[in-house]
Structure 1
Amino acid sequence: MGASSSTEQNVSREQREVESLAASTGSISLLQNAFSKLADPQTNAIPLQSLQKCFSLNYKNKECEALKIPDCHLGLLDHLGPSMVDLFFVTDKGGVNWVEFVRGYLKCCGRMPVSALLKTLLRLFAAAGVKAGIPLKLEFEAIDDGDYKVSGLLLPIDVLMFLWMCWTMLWNSRTWRVLKEREYLYLPDISPLVLSAVVSCAEGGSGLELWDCDISSLGVQLPAGKFLTWMLTTVPNLTECFTQFVNARLQNFAISEQDVLESSNSSSREISPEKECSSYLLTCGRAWGISLTIRGTISEEILKPYFPSDGDAKDENLLYRSSLHGKGLNRFWSNIEGYLGPLLLLISATGDAQEDNTNIRKWIICALTHQGFENRDMFYGNSGTLYAICPVFHAFSPSGKERNFVYSHLHPTGRVYEPHPKPVGIAFGGTNGNERVYMDEDFAKATVRHHAIDKTYHHGPLFPNQGFLPVEALILEVEVWGLGGRKAREIQLSYKKREDLFTEQRRKVDLKTFASWEDSPEKMMMDIMADPNRVQREDR
C-alpha cells in the first residue's frame, strides 16, 4: 500500500518529495491511517465517492443567532465535499492513489503563506457556489508555483455566505464527535464582520446607514483584491477553520467505526440555541470575530463556551457583569482582583450624554489585555488590542510607538492629600486626562476621544460617525471575561479565599492582648472628665 511503501527501495522520487513535505506538517501518520481506512485494498486507491463522503457536510437542522439564513446557503454546504475533491485531488480510473492523496492534502494544509491559503478558501467557495447554482463573479488565473490571481466582485451576501462556510467548517471540526445531533448547525450573527468588509472594500461604503443595514439587500460591490487584503489585515486566522476541518475529518475517518461510536456515546453533548442566543455582550458571532484576529490559547479560550464541553464554560469565564454584580469600580474590582491572565472588557453605550437625541444608536467596543488589572495611577501593560464590535467590527492592534495600554486606578485607601489627584476609573490608550477610552468610577459615562491623541493603538473610529470631538456616552452594560483558562481562575479563587481569611482575622478582637481596665487610656480620660481639677500622679 502507498502508505507503507515509502520504506521500500523502489519508492519514486515524487513520492519521497510529497511525503517529506507532509512530514514537515506533522501529519504523515494521520495521512497514512486515513489512507489505509479509505483505500480499496484491490486498487490501492481511495474511491472517489469515499473521499467525497469524507469531506461532505449534511446539516438539516440549522439555527441562526439573528440573521435570516439564505436558501442558497444550504445548497452551498451540500456541495462542499465534492468541490474539495474536484479542486485539490487528482483522480484516475481506480480513484485517488497515495501520492495524489498526499499532494491534495498539501494543497489544503501544506506550509504556504496566509494569502495563498485565503485564495484557496475563495476558490473552494467559488467552486461550491457554482455547483449550488449561485451566480458568483469571482475569477481565478493560475500563475507560477500553483498560486492564483483573484479578480472579480463580491456582494455583501456573498461575503456572509463565505464567512458562514468557514464557520461551518470550524463548527464541524469541534462538534462532529461530541454532539448527539450531528445534523444540527448553529450559525452566529456575523453582521459586524460583513459590514467591516463592506466599509473597507466598497466605494462609498462608509456612507451607509450601518445600524439598520439589511445585508441581503445591499447592492454594493466589493473588489476581490480588496476583500483579500481585508482578510489579511482583519481576520488572518480565518485559514485555521479550513485546516482544522480537513485534519478533523481525516482523523475521524482514520479511526475505526467502533471507536467513533464509543466516543460519541461517552462524550455526546446537546446544545440548545437558547444558550447561545443569550443577552451577553459577548455573543458567539462577536467572540468568533475576535478569535479570528489572534492565535494561540486565547483564541481557543474565547470560543470555548460556544462548543460542547463537560462544564459550563460560560459561567466560568464570566468574571464581571454590571447588571449582575452592580455598577461601579468597587464592584468591578471585587470580581476581577487577583485574576492574572488575559482579560476581555466589553462596554455597551449609547448616545452622547450632553445631547438629547433619541435617534442615537447603541454601540459596543472592547479591549483585550494580556494581563490582569492593577491599581496604579499611571498607564501600564505589555500588549493589548482595542476592538470596535458593533455595529461594525474593527481591530486596532498596538502601534509600537507608546505602551499606554491600560489604566485602572481606585481611590487611595489612606487619607493622603494629593495636590494633583489622578483620575479614578479605567482607560485604554492616550495619556492621563486625554485617554482614548475612559470609564468613570461609577460606570455611568464613557468618554471616547479621536484616535489622534493615542499613539498606543492603531488609528480608526471606534463607532460610526465618531467625529473629532470627544464623545461622552451613557454606559448600558460592562462585561469582563477571563481568558486565562482554568488555572488563572483557580489562582484567583485561592487569592480571594486568602483575602477573606485576612479580613475575618482583622474583625476578631482578642481581649487578652489588651491591658486591664485600670491601666487603660479610656479609664484615665473618663476620670479626667469626671473631675478635671483632681491631681493625677503617675506611679513610678
Structure 2
Amino acid sequence: MGASTSAEPRVSAEQKEAEAVTASTGALPLLQKAFSKLANPETNAVPLENLQQCFSFGREGRSYSGSNVPDSFPVLLDHLASSLVDQFFVPDKEGIIWVEFVRGYNKCCARVSASVSLNMLMRVFAAISQSANVPLHLEFESGDDDCKVNGHVLPSNVFLLLALCWVMSWGGSRKLKGEGNLSLPDLNHLVLSVIASCGEVEGGLNVWDCDISSLEVQLPAGKFVTWVMSTVPCLPDCLRQYFHARLLIAASDGVELASSNSSSVGDISSPAAYDYILTQGRAWAISITQKSTRNEEISRAFISNGGGMDNNLLYRSSTHGRGLGRFWSHVEGYKGPLLILIAASSGDAHEGNSIDRKWVIGALTDQGLENKDIFYGNSGCLYSIDPVFHVFPPTGKEKNFVYSHLHPTGKVYQPHPKPVGVAFGGTPGNERIFIDEDFAKVTVRHHAIDKTYRSGSLFPDQGFLPVEGLISEVEVWGLGGKVAKEVQNSYKKREELFTEQRRKVDLKTFASWEDSPEKMMMDMMSDPNAVRKEDR
C-alpha cells in the first residue's frame, strides 16, 4: 500500500481546489488539453511567450477602417495579450505551471457576480492603457475583486473600451490571421448614451450633430459603472468569451473555429455590403443588453458571421413593400422572437424641420405576432437605438407588450372599431409606439401613458406631446433560429395549399349546364339587360 502511494504523484490541496472550481464550469478537459499543447515537455510549464501568443491579436499586415478610429487603438490591441497574461497568471521561474494555469482561468472565467466581472474588465483596460501610454484617470481603492473604482473617463476612453470589447467578441469566435481588414462598426450611439447618462456638457449636448472625438467632458467612474450595469450588463462577458475561446483554439491546434460560410479569413467584418437599419454596431449593442437566447441569436447572426444577415431578415419595407398587408404576409406564422426596427424622422417643434431629426427605435418581442384587437405578450424590450442608445425593459406592472391588428375580413359593423396597425406599450388608442396601417407614419407618445416598459425618451428631445414621425424604413428580424423559420415555411405551404383548393370549382356539384357559373357568365356577356328568373 505504501509503495502504491509513493508511486502516485501527490496533489496539493490548492490544486484540488482550483481543479474543482474549473470542473464546475465544465472546462477542465479543455484546460488539460490546452496546457499539454502550450507547455514545454521538459519543464512541464507554459512559457510566457507561448501564452502571450495564444491571447495575441496580431496586427502585422492588418489594416484598420471605421468611423473615427483613433491611432491609439491598434496600439491597444498590441498590448492585449501581455496585459491578459500579467493580469491573470502568476509565473514561476520556468513559466506558468499547471496549478497557476488553472487559477488564471478561474480568475477570469469562473462564475462571479456582475460587479466583480465588470471590475475585472476595467482593470484589464487600465493595464492595457498604461502599457500603450494612453491617458486614463481610473483608480482602484484596493486589490480586491469588488473594490470601488474612482476617477473619471473621457468619451475617447469609452470608445476605446467599447471597441476593445467588440474586437474581443469577434476575436473569440475565430482564429484571426495576421493579415486582413479590421473594420470597426459605428459605436457613437453607445458613447452618446454614456455621455447623456453620466456627464454634463457645458452648453448642452447636441446629439444630432456631435463630434465625440472632440468632447473633453469628464464622466465619473461610478456613474459609468452604473450605466454599464443598467444598459449593457453583458459587456464584461466579452473578456470571458475571448479568454475561453483563445484557449479552445490553442487546444484545437490552432484550427479556425468560424463556420465555413463566414467572411474571409482575417477580415472580421463585412460592412457596406448591406444598407440595413440593423448595422453590426447596433446589433452588437442590442446583444449585450441582457442574457437570453434572443440576444445570443443576434450575436451569432450578426457578430460571429456578418455575411449571414439575410437569413434572419423576414421583412423590409423598401424591399417587400409598405403596408400592414405586405408586412403580415412575411411575418405570419413565425413562432419565435422578433426584432422590429423603425427608422423615421420628425420635425423640430421650433423650426418646423422634418428632415434634420432622424432617429431609429426598436422593439424586441419574445414571441411571434398574432392578429388580435387587444394587447398580448409575455415579455419584451423597447430600444432607443439612434442617435442615442437606451434600453427599456419590462416594469412588471402591465403586460401590454405587443398589439398587431388587421382589418376584419368580414363586413361586420363595429360601433367602436379598434385601431389597425402595430403597437408596443400603452393602451389601445393611446399606445407608446404605434405604426399606422400604411407604414407611412409612426406615433411616439410620452412614457407616462405606458406601464409595461421602463420610462424614458425613445429619442432625444421627445417632449410630453405625441410625436408623429415619417417612416423611411421598417425591418423585422427573426431570432428564433432555423426551427422557427422551418415552422413558418411549413405554415406558408399549408396556407398556399388551402388557398389553391378554395379557388378550384368542381363542376360536378352543379346539376346541369343551366346552373353552372360558366353559363351565367356567357348569358351576361351576350345580353346583360335580359330579365332573369331570379330578378322577377
Q: Could you state the TM-score of these two structures normalised by the residue count of structure 1?
A: 0.90
Check whether the contact 1:348–1:476 (CA below 8 A) recurs between aligned residues.
yes
In structure 2, what is the equivalent of residue 392 of structure 1? 388
Q: Could you tell me which amino acid in structure 2 is paired with residue 339 of structure 1?
A: Y
1:250 matched to 2:236? no
1:323 matched to 2:318? yes
In structure 2, what is the equivalent of residue 52 of structure 1? 52
Q: Structure 2, unaligned stretches of length 5 or more?
A: none
Check whether the contact 1:180–1:268 (CA below 8 A) recurs between aligned residues.
no
Structure 1 position 388, deviation (Å): 0.2
* Stretch moving more, 55-64 or 447-456: 55-64
Structure 1 position 255, deviation (Å): 2.5
In structure 1, what is the equivalent of residue 458 of structure 2? 462
Q: 1:392 to 1:512 in 2, by over 3 A?
A: same
- Report the 3-state secondary structure (helix = DSSP H, G, I; strand = E; otherwise coil) of the residue aligned with 2:465: coil
Structure 1 position 264, deviation (Å): 8.4
Q: 1:418 to 1:141 in 2, by over 3 A?
A: same
Counterparts of 1:266-281 in structure 2 under 5 Å?
269-270=263-264, 275-276=271-272, 278-281=274-277
Hey, what's the Cα distance between the residues in 1 that align with 2:277 and 2:103? 44
Counterparts of 1:437-456 in structure 2 under 5 Å?
437-456=433-452
Check whether the contact 2:58–2:178 (CA below 8 A) recurs between aligned residues.
no
Q: Could you tell me which amino acid in structure 2 is paired with residue 469 of structure 1?
A: L
Hey, what's the Cα distance between the residues in 2 that align with 1:150 and 1:78? 25
Counterparts of 1:333-372 in structure 2 under 5 Å?
333-352=328-347, 356-358=352-354, 360-372=356-368
Q: 1:264 to 1:108 in 2, by over 3 A?
A: closer
Hey, what's the Cα distance between the residues in 2 that align with 1:312 and 1:134? 34
Q: 1:516 to 1:136 in 2, by over 3 A?
A: same
- Provide Cα deviations, 1:399-438, integer angstroms capped at 9, x if missing partner: 0000000000000000000000000001000001110000
Hey, what's the Cα distance between the residues in 2 that align with 1:418 and 1:481? 34
- Report the 3-state secondary structure (helix = DSSP H, G, I; strand = E; otherwise coil) of the residue aligned with 2:384: strand
Counterparts of 1:284-295 in structure 2 under 5 Å?
284-295=280-291
1:203 matched to 2:200? yes
Counterparts of 1:216-231 in structure 2 under 5 Å?
216-231=213-228
Structure 1 position 25, deviation (Å): 1.5
- Report the 3-state secondary structure (helix = DSSP H, G, I; strand = E; otherwise coil) of the residue aligned with 2:276: coil
Q: Could you tell me which amino acid in structure 1 is paired with residue 160 of structure 2?
A: M
Q: 1:441 to 1:264 in 2, by over 3 A?
A: closer
Hey, what's the Cα distance between the residues in 2 that align with 1:50 and 1:396? 44
Hey, what's the Cα distance between the residues in 1 that align with 2:357 and 2:419? 28
In structure 2, what is the equivalent of residue 61 of structure 1? 62
1:430 matched to 2:426? yes
Check whether the contact 1:353–1:472 (CA below 8 A) recurs between aligned residues.
no
Structure 1 position 116, deviation (Å): 0.7
Structure 1 position 358, deviation (Å): 4.9
Hey, what's the Cα distance between the residues in 1 that align with 2:426 and 2:485? 30
Check whether the contact 1:384–1:397 (CA below 8 A) recurs between aligned residues.
yes
Check whether the contact 1:62–1:187 (CA below 8 A) recurs between aligned residues.
no
Check whether the contact 1:64–1:189 (CA below 8 A) recurs between aligned residues.
no
Structure 1 position 45, deviation (Å): 1.4
Structure 1 position 294, deviation (Å): 2.5
* Stretch moving more, 498-507 or 68-77: 498-507
Check whether the contact 1:58–1:183 (CA below 8 A) recurs between aligned residues.
no
Check whether the contact 1:277–1:283 (CA below 8 A) recurs between aligned residues.
no
Check whether the contact 1:298–1:484 (CA below 8 A) recurs between aligned residues.
yes
- Report the 3-state secondary structure (helix = DSSP H, G, I; strand = E; otherwise coil) of the residue aligned with 2:172: helix
Hey, what's the Cα distance between the residues in 2 that align with 1:183 and 1:148? 40
Hey, what's the Cα distance between the residues in 2 that align with 1:532 and 1:343? 55
Q: Could you tell me which amino acid in structure 1 is paired with residue 89 of structure 2?
A: F
Hey, what's the Cα distance between the residues in 2 that align with 1:531 and 1:482? 57
1:313 matched to 2:308? yes
Among 467, 471, 494, the residue aligned to 1:471: 467
* Stretch moving more, 200-209 or 280-289: 200-209
In structure 2, what is the equivalent of residue 141 of structure 1? 141
Q: 1:353 to 1:212 in 2, by over 3 A?
A: closer
* Stretch moving more, 446-455 or 210-219: 210-219
- Provide Cα deviations, 1:487-519, integer angstroms capped at 9, x if missing partner: 111111111111111111111111111111456
Check whether the contact 1:199–1:206 (CA below 8 A) recurs between aligned residues.
no
Q: Could you tell me which amino acid in structure 2 is paired with residue 329 of structure 1?
A: L
* Stretch moving more, 218-227 or 392-401: 218-227
Q: 1:205 to 1:390 in 2, by over 3 A?
A: farther
In structure 2, what is the equivalent of residue 298 of structure 1? 294
In structure 2, what is the equivalent of residue 236 of structure 1? 233
Hey, what's the Cα distance between the residues in 1 that align with 2:114 and 2:202? 26
Structure 1 position 64, deviation (Å): 3.9
Hey, what's the Cα distance between the residues in 1 that align with 2:122 and 2:448? 36
Check whether the contact 2:347–2:355 (CA below 8 A) recurs between aligned residues.
no
Aligned residues: 519
Hey, what's the Cα distance between the residues in 2 that align with 1:520 and 1:199? 72
- Provide Cα deviations, 1:362-402, integer angstroms capped at 9, x if missing partner: 00000000111110000000100000000000000000000
- Provide Cα deviations, 1:245-270, integer angstroms capped at 9, x if missing partner: 1111111112336xx28x78977741
In structure 2, what is the equivalent of residue 21 of structure 1? 21
In structure 1, what is the equivalent of residue 116 of structure 2? 116
Q: Could you tell me which amino acid in structure 2 is paired with residue 237 of structure 1?
A: C
- Report the 3-state secondary structure (helix = DSSP H, G, I; strand = E; otherwise coil) of the residue aligned with 2:173: helix
Hey, what's the Cα distance between the residues in 2 that align with 1:41 and 1:151? 44
* Stretch moving more, 12-21 or 513-522: 513-522
- Report the 3-state secondary structure (helix = DSSP H, G, I; strand = E; otherwise coil) of the residue aligned with 1:466: coil
Check whether the contact 2:108–2:240 (CA below 8 A) recurs between aligned residues.
yes
Q: 1:500 to 1:29 in 2, by over 3 A?
A: same
Q: 1:410 to 1:158 in 2, by over 3 A?
A: same
1:70 matched to 2:70? yes
Hey, what's the Cα distance between the residues in 2 that align with 1:386 and 1:58? 38
Q: CA RMSD in A?
A: 2.7
Check whether the contact 2:284–2:302 (CA below 8 A) recurs between aligned residues.
no
Hey, what's the Cα distance between the residues in 2 that align with 1:283 and 1:265? 21
Structure 1 position 143, deviation (Å): 5.2
In structure 2, what is the equivalent of residue 150 of structure 1? 149
Check whether the contact 1:180–1:269 (CA below 8 A) recurs between aligned residues.
no
Check whether the contact 1:373–1:408 (CA below 8 A) recurs between aligned residues.
yes
Hey, what's the Cα distance between the residues in 2 that align with 1:480 and 1:277? 19
Q: Structure 1, unaligned stretches of length 5 or more?
A: none
Hey, what's the Cα distance between the residues in 2 that align with 1:351 and 1:284? 25
Structure 1 position 275, deviation (Å): 4.5
Check whether the contact 1:276–1:283 (CA below 8 A) recurs between aligned residues.
no
* Stretch moving more, 456-465 or 354-363: 354-363
Check whether the contact 2:335–2:488 (CA below 8 A) recurs between aligned residues.
yes
Check whether the contact 2:198–2:227 (CA below 8 A) recurs between aligned residues.
yes
Structure 1 position 282, deviation (Å): 0.2
In structure 2, what is the equivalent of residue 170 of structure 1? 169
- Report the 3-state secondary structure (helix = DSSP H, G, I; strand = E; otherwise coil) of the residue aligned with 1:388: strand
* Stretch moving more, 264-273 or 314-323: 264-273
Q: Could you tell me which amino acid in structure 2 is paired with residue 107 of structure 1?
A: K
Check whether the contact 1:175–1:307 (CA below 8 A) recurs between aligned residues.
no
Q: Could you tell me which amino acid in structure 2 is paired with residue 230 of structure 1?
A: W
Check whether the contact 2:270–2:307 (CA below 8 A) recurs between aligned residues.
no
Structure 1 position 203, deviation (Å): 2.7
- Report the 3-state secondary structure (helix = DSSP H, G, I; strand = E; otherwise coil) of the residue aligned with 2:207: coil
- Provide Cα deviations, 1:207-234, integer angstroms capped at 9, x if missing partner: 3000211111111111111111111111
Q: Could you tell me which amino acid in structure 2 is paired with residue 447 of structure 1?
A: T
Q: Could you tell me which amino acid in structure 1 is paired with residue 117 of structure 2?
A: L
